[in-house]
Amino acid sequence: MPDTFDKLDTLIDHLDLNTRGIVSLIGAGGKTSLMFCLARDLANAGRTVLTTTTTKILMPGPKDSPHTIIAGAIEDLIKASKSFLKTYPHFSAARIRDRRSGKLKGFGPGLINQLWEAHMFDWIILEADGAKRKPLKASNPHEPVIPDRTSHLILVTGLDAVGKPLDEDHVHRAGLFSENTGMGLGSVLDEQAIARGITVEMKKATGFCLGAKSYVFLNKADTGERIRSGQKIARLLQTDPAIGKILIGSLTQGPGIVDSVAGGQVPKRGTGQKESGADK
């Protein structure tokens, strides 16, 4: 398998973002960085892009987004967006800004669907999950908050979790992750446990947006050891029918993709089937 980053294709090529759609980002370990990387690539390709959330995000800086619209009503959001689109191909929006935390509170899935139906943007990219800046997470029953018009679902996982203990310092909702994977609290996180956690999250999330293309992005593959961990996790996930493609890469190096593995593969008879994350 390769051990160098592919700088020929952009992230939007690898994720098949070649028409129009809604991208929902879930998981942990780089969702915000991925959102703005995708927005930058798409805007550079001549597309119009809105970045937002159905949960909460920090106010983006000018390097990530030139402007942020704060609008509680769909009519106000559409009016302001039409004005900004005359100058900027990409900007952000939120419903309100919390005075205490400074975080932006986003829009419900229904309003995202309405905004999409207004046909102003080629792409709406949103964070549909919160992880408190941890590399891994397990979601509550009401999560993630995904619009049903989502065309591309991307679960992000930080490879820096490998080798770390299963605790709240490294996993958002560590107790729930323990229940989902059968791994004891305090145990060292390995590739099989991470693959099992991803399998549980993807099975649930794809039920919120039937028909969407689904991806896993294994982020922070910044060293040879992490690349090898990512490749092992990808092999464990490649027979999962809920996953269309697994990407291993880094949002700081390039950003670039070091490896890509097709998901939904039928396991070969007598090989590695028991290893699959879906079977654990």
How confident is the model over 15-22, as a mean pLDDT? Answer: 94
How confident is the model over 55-76, as a mean pLDDT? Answer: 94
pLDDT number for residue 102: 87
Task: Show the tokens assigned to 26.
Answer: 């879930």
pLDDT number for residue 255: 72
Share of the chain above pLDDT 70, in %: 91
3-class SS letters over 117-174 = HCCCCCEEEEECCCCCCCCEECCCCCCCCCCCCCCEEEEEEEHHHCCCECCCCCEECH
Name the one residue in this structure whose structure tokens are 């798409």.
Answer: 42
Beta bridge partners of 214: 153
How confident is the model over 103-121, as a mean pLDDT? Answer: 95
pLDDT number for residue 265: 85
pLDDT number for residue 131: 82
pLDDT number for residue 278: 40
| 3-class DSSP assignment, residue 203 | helix
pLDDT number for residue 269: 58
Q: pLDDT band at residue 9, thresholds of 50, 70 and 90?
A: low
